[in-house]
Amino acid sequence: MEVLMPEPQIYVERTLAIIKPDVIDKEEEIEDVILRSGFHILQKRKLQLSPEQCSNFYAEQFGKMFFPNLTAYMSSGPIVAMVLARNCAVSYWKEMLGPSNSLRARITHPHSLRALYGTDELRNGLHGSLSISSAEKEIRFIFPEAILEPLPTGQRARDYLNLYVKPTLLAGLTALCRERPADPM
């Protein structure tokens, strides 16, 4: 009887998730929901942002009435930032979060994470990237060492393997076979 193994998945879409200061004590619970929803946590970091860093992170919100309160809130305590990956990561995470206003989320999306963990319009408990491009920018901000180049798939992956990996492996394995150690143990 032949056992069929599913093809391994390469998750090429990533998004940034942030557990905000007021719900940091729910970190394990939220992480469990994330994992049960099919996400993989590629990177995770606990940190506290300065008001300056928060201003830079939320630069697109600059000039809006809530901007000073947002930067004060986000710098008020530690946060947990995670790079999440899965198919359609950005849209799926946004769907799980629900509306940014937690009060509205309780009415329109009562099972969303912001409805469950947020307290008001500003303190909504969690952050999610709005688009793939903003996810890349935000991930680079929080995880500057992250490599975000898209992974090749399909024919591009096969071409890469044939051009770079297989010749190197063949040369290495051939050299290893020629060197047969006298006592391999």
Question: Could you write out the DSSP letters of every residue in 51-71?
Answer: HHHHHHHTGGGTTSTTHHHHH
Exposure class string for 142-169: b at 16+ Cβ within 10 A, else e: bbeeeeeeeeeeeeeeeeeeeeeeeeee
Q: How far from chain centre, in Å, is Cα 102?
A: 22
127 is catalytic: yes
Residue of 128, 124, 123 whose CA lies nearest to 93: 128
Residue of 130, 129, 96, 91 whose CA lies nearest to 113: 96
63 — alpha (psi -120 to 50), left (phi > 0) or beta?
A: left
Helix, coil or strand: residue 98: coil
Q: Identify the active-site residue in 40, 109, 111, 127.
A: 127
Active site residues: 127
